[in-house]
């Protein structure tokens, strides 16, 4: 495997002399000449970075993992490019922040990764966009392989040619959501007998929680264009796992489902571990959607947050842990239970959700000007106090330096007045503005 990879990169070395393999990994350090070597045959996954960016540093070990794993299962090459040195390439690909992760194939195809930057999600993204939007399954056995991967995927069953309106719609939607989800198609009718109850073909399923859920074709309107818009809407709400980890980078996606977000708030440490009493609480919330899927699925998306900071910012208060937070995705209002969250039982939570749904639960937050201002105030004070807790010395410097500047400015204003009044005192200020200015200009 190693040799094959090196052999495939070697020509680039010889002809371009533009690449260097970074020491410990399969990540290729690229330069501005990258633009000259891209062609339709090679696929690249590239991290655009800047040496000073902390998020980029944090991504380094993950990036090495991504490179190793992708080399094993695909021919996608993994590289990184320093935008402070090779700014032309970064400008060409419209890189506006660091790190930016992009899949590039030839001159026309590029997809930007948006999501939580963990090894698994990045690899899945690369695998998805490197193939066609809909992957055809030929062996019925492959379905079992897919199921073993334990990730959400969509499956069309029926004749796969574009003359069938459902397939045409499915293909369009798959192209749109390709960076975000896996789409497969299968012509095999046996699938229906083996995996799900009788239904009419063609049809579309989503696989999650070890089960297939069928798209309700009766939802489709009469106009042919409706298929695509109804399917788009369905895919957009179904592409999440039943109980998904919500982070600041994917919360917008959840909000686009227009459902209530039911979030168990726990705290993950740096090793992504959650204390056992919080795990217990989180499982209790997860269990509710497992048991009452039929009742809640349509209007509630369940998930959990491992960073209390994010939850505090939504709730605009410091929540005790673990906690439960329900967010109305259309109005940005939120609900929190009145009982102590640790004492919540399965029944208490279902009653709480019911009261939210019949709009009798107390409502907080929202999008009014007052709330927005308060949110800004809360964000500022909480991030200042976080910084204080994290690094008191730095904070002192940060606060003291600006005040010194302020004093200096006040002082110079004051001096200026004195200057006007009495030219002889000029030297005391130690700031002969006129000459300085001219010297600099030259
Ligand atoms: C299906 O799409 C059509 C057209 O956008 C829309 O009018 C209709 O309400 C949709 N049906 C459902 C159930 O969402
Ligand atoms: C959010 O609140 C509005 C107004 O109270 C309500 O109409 C809507 O059904 C709520 N739920 C969601 C998921 O948007
Ligand atoms: C709303 O639901 C809660 C919980 O099930 C129930 O106690 C309450 O009576 C309901 N209120 C209305 C107005 O339906």
Mean pLDDT score, 248-263: 90
Task: Quote the ligand 2 centre to 331 CA distance (angstroms).
Answer: 7
Q: Which ligand is nearest to the CA of 358?
A: 3
Residue 124 has pLDDT above 50, yes or no: yes
Element (DSSP H or E) covering residue 190: helix 190-195
Q: Closest Cα to atom 3, ligand 1: which residue? A: 226
Element (DSSP H or E) covering residue 372: helix 369-390
**155: β partners:** 184, 205
Residue 70 has pLDDT above 80, yes or no: yes
CB of residue 107 inside a 6 A radius of ligand 2: no
* DSSP code, position 150: T
Written in H, E and C, the secondary structure of 235-282 is HHHHCCCCEEEECCCCHHHHHCCCCEEEEEECCCCCCCCCCHHHHHHH
CB of residue 343 inside a 6 A radius of ligand 3: no
The pLDDT value recorded for residue 415 is 55
Q: Which domains does the chain have, with CATH numbers?
A: 11-129 (3.40.30.10), 133-238 (3.40.30.10), 243-367 (3.40.30.10)
Mean pLDDT score, 268-290: 93
Q: Closest Cα to atom 7, ligand 1: which residue? A: 221
Mean pLDDT score, 267-291: 93
Q: Closest Cα to atom 9, ligand 1: which residue? A: 221
* DSSP code, position 301: E
Q: Which ligand is nearest to the CA of 216?
A: 1
CB of residue 219 inside a 6 A radius of ligand 1: yes
Q: Closest Cα to atom 1, ligand 1: which residue? A: 230
Among 335, 358, 359, 362, residue to substitute to test ligand 3 (most atoms within 8 Å of Cβ):
358
Binned at pLDDT 50, 70 and 90, residue 412 comes out as: low
Residue 315 has pLDDT above 50, yes or no: yes
CB of residue 221 inside a 6 A radius of ligand 1: yes
Write the CA distances from 129 to 34, 44, 45, integer angstroms.
20, 11, 10
Is the pLDDT higher at 6 or at 238? 238
Parallel/antiparallel/unpaired status of strands 43-49 and 100-105: antiparallel
Task: Quote the ligand 3 centre to 356 CA distance (angstroms).
Answer: 9
pLDDT tens digits, 202-213:
999 999 988 899
Binned at pLDDT 50, 70 and 90, residue 23 comes out as: very low
**Quick one: 279 exposed, middle or buried, by C-beta within 10 A (0-12, 13-18, 19+)?**
middle
Task: Quote the ligand 1 centre to 224 CA distance (angstroms).
Answer: 11
pLDDT tens digits, 329-348:
998 899 999 888 888 999 99
């Amino acid at each position: 495997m190693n040799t094959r990879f090196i052999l495939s990169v070697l020509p680039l070395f010889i002809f371009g002399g533009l690449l260097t393999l970074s020491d410990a990994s399969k990540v290729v350090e690229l330069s501005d000449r990258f633009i000259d070597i891209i062609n339709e045959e090679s696929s690249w996954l590239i991290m655009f970075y800047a040496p000073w960016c902390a998020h980029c540093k944090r991504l380094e070990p993950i990036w090495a993992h991504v490179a190793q794993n992708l080399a094993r299962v695909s021919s996608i090459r993994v590289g990184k490019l320093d935008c402070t040195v090779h700014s032309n390439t970064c400008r060409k690909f419209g890189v506006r922040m660091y790190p930016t992760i992009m899949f590039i194939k030839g001159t026309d195809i590029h997809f930007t990764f948006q999501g939580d930057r963990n090894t698994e999600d990045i690899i899945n993204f690369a695998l998805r966009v490197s193939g066609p939007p809909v992957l055809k399954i030929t062996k019925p056995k492959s379905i079992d392989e897919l199921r073993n991967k334990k990730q959400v995927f969509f499956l069309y069953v029926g004749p796969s040619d574009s003359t069938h309106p459902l397939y045409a719609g499915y293909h369009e939607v798959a192209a749109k959501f390709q960076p975000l989800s896996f789409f497969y198609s299968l012509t095999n009718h046996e699938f229906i007998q083996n995996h799900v109850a009788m239904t009419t073909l063609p049809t579309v399923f989503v696989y999650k929680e070890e089960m297939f859920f069928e798209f309700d074709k009766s939802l489709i309107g009469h106009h042919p264009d409706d298929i695509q818009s109804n399917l788009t809407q369905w895919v957009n709400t179904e592409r999440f796992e039943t109980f998904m980890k919500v982070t600041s980078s994917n919360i917008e996606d959840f909000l686009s489902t227009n459902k209530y977000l039911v979030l168990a708030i726990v705290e993950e440490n740096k090793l992504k571990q959650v204390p056992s009493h919080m795990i217990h609480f989180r499982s209790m919330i997860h269990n509710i959607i497992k048991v009452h899927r039929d009742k809640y699925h349509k209007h509630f998306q369940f998930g959990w947050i491992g960073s209390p900071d994010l939850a505090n910012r939504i709730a605009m208060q410091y929540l005790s842990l673990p906690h439960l937070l329900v967010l109305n995705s259309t109005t940005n209002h939120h609900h929190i239970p009145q009982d102590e969250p640790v004492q919540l039982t399965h029944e208490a939570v279902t009653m709480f959700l019911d009261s939210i749904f019949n709009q009798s639960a107390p409502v907080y937050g929202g999008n009014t000007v007052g709330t927005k201002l308060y949110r800004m105030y809360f964000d500022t004070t909480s991030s200042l106090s976080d910084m204080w807790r994290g690094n008191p010395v730095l904070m002192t410097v940060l606060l003291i330096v600006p005040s010194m500047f302020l004093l200096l400015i006040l002082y110079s204003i004051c001096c200026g007045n004195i200057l006007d009044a009495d030219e002889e005192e000029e030297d005391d200020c130690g700031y002969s503005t006129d000459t300085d200015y001219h010297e600099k200009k030259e």
